Each structure stands twice: as structure tokens, then as C-alpha cells.
Amino acid sequence: MSVLAIVLTTLLCTVLVIALAANLATTEKRLLYRPRRLYTSGDADFRRALGILLGPPLVSGNRITGLINGPQIYPAMLNAIRTAQVNITFESFVFRDAIGATFVAELADAARRGVRVHMLLDWLGSRTMDSRLLAAARVAGCDLQIYHPPSWYHLGRLNNRTHRKLLVIDGKLEFTGGAGMGVEWCDGCAGLPPWRDSHFKAEGPVVAQMQAVFVDNWIKATGRVLHGCEYFPRLPDDVGNMDAQMFGSSPVGGSESMHLMVLLALTAARTSIDIENAYFVPDKLTIEALCSAARRGVRVRIVVPGRYTDARVGRWAAQGLYGALLEAGVRLYEYQPTMMHSKVLVIDGLWSSVGSSNFDDRSFRLNDEANLNVFSEDLAREQIRLIDADIGLSRAMVLKKWRSRQIGRRVSERLALLLRSQL
């Protein structure tokens, strides 16, 4: 090999290493210490801290309604699209197959009848969607943008995906939660039932905060701002009796917001913590917060996917972390019937956080996420009822059995945990 070839090869390898490092690195300093326990979930200071530290304040007069699994979620969203009169904003990560095609058709119909339709789809999550259907939506009048497509001059953002799930109708009605647009949520796959997931319909002043979360990423994708009374109409503050806030997190601004919210909530728990999450690979601080809560007498229950998962490496990493949690008294359950995809956190039967965020580094530091926080005993009671039912369909993890797992599984867990920052 000539000297020139060696030099060129070395330069190419160097560029690739630098590009990979830039792609995997986060841009902001991470939380290094758990917040001190200064209040409980029922204290006014907890409410104040959520508003001050996370950004938007809590607003009252909202109604939040839960929707369970695709057969409930999709018809409610599609019916809402059909009622739109002024504008629709829609943001999603997973967007594919026949379900994606159904939503494209309805959104295109809305555009043809004069509704302004703004669609923001993540490149990675929508890459298998038929490009002809997306082109047809644009022809119909939809303003459809792809979030962070591959680009050699923007390699550093390739690892930053929008994981948000948002649909806002006329600035007055909003849907958010864990469900993407795919057949697994509606019909299941491989002979299994539909994926277990929770989505939520919101009405009231909090919808304006949800719209603002969408506009945040719309500006990043297009450089244009959506504003005015068409997108932010005056909203009644007596639709319901729930206090709520909607906030977004992103590695380019407020990357630690989601992580901070989780730590504040776990630290404030007084009697109970109930979690359902699809990708549960918590960092050291989150594990410490969960264990600390269990040791001070808080009942901590966590439901995660069992053998039916679309992220086997993530499951191995999670199982490698079970020991410390079980030793502290945390109750862990693996859901058996199908994939568990919910993202629900309930504290003390009083406060719930629902939305797109998982319990992992990817959601806490790499992805754009959005969560709806709600103070409502009624909503919390309903989520705990669903979690109780899911626990009845789950297998409880036992510390003695975990300690006696096979060598091969231990090796898989160790290797998976090496990728923890990307899971």
C-alpha cells in the first residue's frame, strides 16, 4: 500500500470516529446528584417546583380522559381529525404500515376541505412508510416535514429523534401518550394481542402548552413559527377540575427536564409509586431514588415488558439492574400477554405523569420527549386500576431466582449494560 493510500485511509478512519463520537455524545452536562427530599407530592412546594423547574406552570380547569390500546386510541384520534375546522398539528415517532396510511388519508381529507394540516414525522420512525402516500398528502395540501433526516453535515443530530406523540385539533383538543402509528397497537403481531398502551385526550387550558411543545420542534424543522388565535385560541378554564402541565425536553435545550421531573416525583413520594414503562433501563440516580423510596416505606411497583418485547437488548440491560431494586423492596413485574408499551408514572394516588418518555438514558438525554403531568385523584385512581389489572397478567420477579440465573444470561446483561447510554 502506498504512503498516500495509508494517509487517506487514516484520515477516513479519523473522520468516521469523530462523526460517531459526535453522533453519540450529548451536548449538555447531566444531573450528577439526586435532589434533596424537601416536600411530598401533596405539598404546595412540590407543585411550585414542577412549574418553576420544568418550565410551564400548572393550569387548572382541565379534563384528561384515558384511552386504552389501539382499538380505543385510533378511532378517537381519527374522529377528532374529522371534526377539525381550522388547523391540525401532528407529531409522531412510529408512523408506518396500514395504520399510518389511514392517518395519512384522514389528514389529507382534512387538508382538502381547507384545514391547515402540519405533520412532523421522525425520519427513523417513519422511514418504512410508503413515500408515495406521503407525497400524496403533500399534494393534498398537508405541510409534511421529516424530523432530522440523515445529512452528512448534521451527523451530530442523527442520534436525536423526536419521540413525541402529539395531535392537536384547532388548538382546543389534544391527544398524547405512548402509542405510535402501527398495526401492532391495533391488531397485534406474530399472533399476539395488540400492544398494551395508554393514550390520553386533553381539553382545557393545558392544550395551549401542548401546542407550544409542537411549535418548538416545528421551528427546528422548518424555521417557521405557528402562532395567532388560530393556533392558540382562548380556552375555557372550566372544562374539568384537573390541574395539569405539559412540558417537552430536548438535548438542544432542557435535556435534563424529563430526568429532573422523574427524580423530583420519586423523591416526593410518600405512600406509593406505580410505574408502567416499555423501556426501563434507569440510570444510577433513578435507581437510587427508587430504592430510597422503598426503604422509607413507599410501596414501589414497576411493570415492564416480559419475553414479548421489541427491544431484547434493552430487556437484558433492565434485568441486569433488577438485583438492587429487589433487594431494596421494589416490586417488579414482567407483563406476559404481549408487548407492554405504556409510559405511566403515578405518585401517591394523586399525581400522574403520562406521555412519550421512557425510563432510560435515551428519553432522559437524547430524544425529544413530551409528558403531561396531572394532579387528579380520579385520573390516578383509574391508572392504578389498570396497573393492578396488568399486574394480574404479569410474572413477579423474585430476588432468589434472579440471583440464580444462568451464566449466559449474566453475560448478556453485562454486555447490554455497556450500551446503557444509548438504550
pLDDT in tens, 59-112: 999 999 999 999 999 999 999 999 999 999 999 999 999 999 999 999 999 999
Query: The domain that contains 268 carries what CATH number?
Result: 3.30.870.10
8 A C-beta contact, residue 53 and residue 245: no
Which residues of the chain register pLDDT less than 70? 1-29, 152-158, 253-255
Q: Residue 376 domain-assigned?
A: yes
pLDDT of residue 5: 52
Give phi and psi for 174, each to the nearest 5: -140, 150
Q: Residue 114 domain-assigned?
A: yes
Whole domain around residue 43: which residue ranges?
A: 29-422
- Return the SS3 of 186: coil
Tally of structural domains, the chain: 1
C-alpha–C-alpha distance, residues 164 and 220, integer Å: 14
Q: Residue 17 domain-assigned?
A: no
pTM of the model: 0.91
List C-alpha distances in Å: 216 to 164, 203, 210, 219, 248: 12, 20, 10, 6, 9
Q: Residue 252 domain-assigned?
A: yes
pLDDT of residue 277: 97
Q: Residue 310 domain-assigned?
A: yes
Q: Residue 90 domain-assigned?
A: yes
Helices (H), 271-406: 284-295, 312-320, 322-328, 361, 377-391, 399-403
| Active-site residue set | 163, 165, 170, 341, 343, 348
Following DSSP, what letter does each residue of 380-406 receive, concatenated? HHHHHHHHHHHHTTEEE--HHHHHT--
Q: Residue 4 domain-assigned?
A: no
Q: Residue 20 domain-assigned?
A: no
